Amino acid sequence: MPKHPISVVVLAAGKGTRMKSKLHKVLHAIGGKAMLHHLLDSVEELSPQKTVLVVGADREQVEAQARDCSIVTQTEQLGTGHAVMVTRAALEGTKGDVLVLYGDVPFIPKSLMDEMIVAKATSPNTGLVVLGFRPKDAAKYGRLITAANGSLERIVEFKDATEDERQIDLCNSGMMLIDGEKIFPWLASLSNDNASGEYYLTDLVATARKDGCNVAVVEAQKEDVLGINSREDLALAEATFQDRKRCEALAGGVTMVDPATVYFSHDTKLGADIAIEPGVYFGPNVTVEDGVTIKAYSHLEGTHIRSGATVGPFARLRPGADIGEGAKIGNFVEVKKAKLEHGVKVSHLSYIGDATIGADANIGAGTITCNYDGFLKFETHIGAGAFIGSNSALVAPVTIGDGALVGAGSVITKDVEGDALAVARGLQRNRAGFAATFRETQAAKKAALTEKKKGR
């Protein structure tokens, strides 16, 4: 695509009252990432001269999350046209056209923005490009009325449209590309003589045509211009995002038994020949290498699973978990901030935290690394080929040497040298006949108490 200078204005000044949240609307997450960041990531791919973020209500929240943006405040909510008017000083000295986007429309891809830029550059005397789409239910949207040559003649709001105009399914998304030399003279000519007393950006269509300029239309897929104004919209956006991620995973060589039950983060990285069973949840910052199997109902975040490993079912991998090649993490196992080398087996009912485990070590059922004393965290080191018996507690800081054995039920508080056997539990004593005598004695006591109660 030919390189054209561009600046971007992102409108995020609205109060978002329908979200019913103390968190600003554009900071609500989709796939674990704020919707504003979804949009800004796409904008960044354009390499704009400048990105201007227009804020208003709860501006401090948005400013804290903005990156590589100039911040402009719209102190009064006087419409979309006014929101762009207040960017004039911020855009001073920039060249080229201005792309106006909305912070609550997070999925617009770079390819669509490129299409708008090309449409303006290649259409004669075009001063404005409007982004349209065709929703399933067009009733609430303004209609784009086009001429025979495809140029935009006007935008008609539904309430003002005739019956014939209401049959048109090409609708206004609100986003547009505006000629950089004409934008502010055009904005200055807008009027707020309407029922709302606001300046509407859509009125620029009439302004541009009155100025002798053509207005082009670029058509988007409805998913690309999905706007979010409520929790219901947010849930729909999440569903849309998840569907896309699932399709990407399947196309990339991942097998999912029931894709609809698997949830991804925006930054999930998956290799090929991975098998994912139902009910798996990927939180942020998860990398899964080739040939891994993740069994049902496992929860992963901040973890790296290396090739050929098996995880789950019902496993929880927390931030800092590094699972080695061919390792096995079984059911009801939790791993946090621990590095497991290749071939390690932690098959069931264990907690491994703040630890390193050497290659081919075997961790028995019910084993825990006691890493926290209520104030500080401490590390456990288990050597290669070590065998930790079931129901053992390893009280950190402690080191188990290569090839060492720890007897089941042990509480290990001291280092165990390589190839040694460590057993730390009470001495077992068997008393012959005790159980029978115990039962007889207790039964007699119970009978006596029963008789006593009857005599009352």
Kindly state the average pLDDT of the residues 34-63. Answer: 94
Whether residue 145 has pLDDT greater than 60: yes
Q: What is the pLDDT of residue 1?
A: 47
Q: What is the pLDDT of residue 121?
A: 92
Whether residue 18 has pLDDT greater than 80: yes
Look-up: residue for tokens 């209609």?
A: 143
CA distances (Å), origin 122, targets 118, 129, 151, 301: 6, 11, 13, 46
**Catalytic residue IDs:** 348
Amino acid at site 422: A
**DSSP H helical ranges for 47-176:** 59-65, 80-85, 110-122, 163-166
pLDDT band (50, 70, 90) for residue 240: very high
pLDDT band (50, 70, 90) for residue 451: confident
Q: What distance, in Å, lies between the first and last C-alpha atoms of the chain?
A: 100
Residues 6+ apart with CB under 8 A from 49: 5, 6, 7, 94, 95, 96
Helix 35-46 crosses helix 110-122 at what angle (to 10 degrees)? 40
Whether residue 362 has pLDDT greater than 80: yes
**Whole-number mean pLDDT of the chain?**
95
Residues 6+ apart with CB under 8 A from 322: 303, 304, 306, 338, 339, 340
Of residues 242 and 4, which shows the higher confidence score?
Answer: 242
Kindly state the average pLDDT of the residues 158-180. Answer: 91
Q: What are the strands, taking DSSP E only, across 198-252?
A: 214-220
Question: What is the pTM assigned to this prediction?
Answer: 0.89
**Neighbouring C-beta atoms of residue 374, cutoff 10 Å:** 4
Kindly state the average pLDDT of the residues 53-72. Answer: 91
Whether residue 83 has pLDDT greater than 60: yes
Q: What is the pLDDT of residue 3?
A: 65
Any bridge partners for residue 146, and if so which? 152
Give the pLDDT confidence of 249-282 residue by residue, as tens digits. 999 999 999 999 999 999 999 999 999 999 999 9
Give the pLDDT confidence of 410-443 residue by residue, as tens digits. 999 999 999 999 999 988 899 999 999 999 999 9
Of residues 93 and 320, which shows the higher confidence score?
Answer: 320
Of residues 434 and 157, which shows the higher confidence score?
Answer: 434
Kindly state the average pLDDT of the residues 395-413. Answer: 97
**Neighbouring C-beta atoms of residue 193, cutoff 10 Å:** 6
Whether residue 219 has pLDDT greater than 80: yes
Whether residue 2 has pLDDT greater than 60: no
Whole-angstrom Cα distance, residue 33 to residue 205?
34
Half-sphere exposure (Cβ direction) of 125: Cα atoms closer than 13 Å: 8
Q: What is the pLDDT of residue 89?
A: 96
Q: What is the pLDDT of residue 393?
A: 98
Cis peptide before 185 (omega within 30 of 0): no
Tell me what percent of the residues of the chain surpass a pLDDT of 70: 99
Whether residue 130 has pLDDT greater than 70: yes
**Tokens of residue 23, six digits:** 């968190």
Residue length, the chain?
A: 456
**Neighbouring C-beta atoms of residue 308, cutoff 10 Å:** 18
Contacts 24+ apart (CB under 8 A), 240-245: 240/107, 241/30, 241/31, 241/107, 241/266, 242/31, 245/31
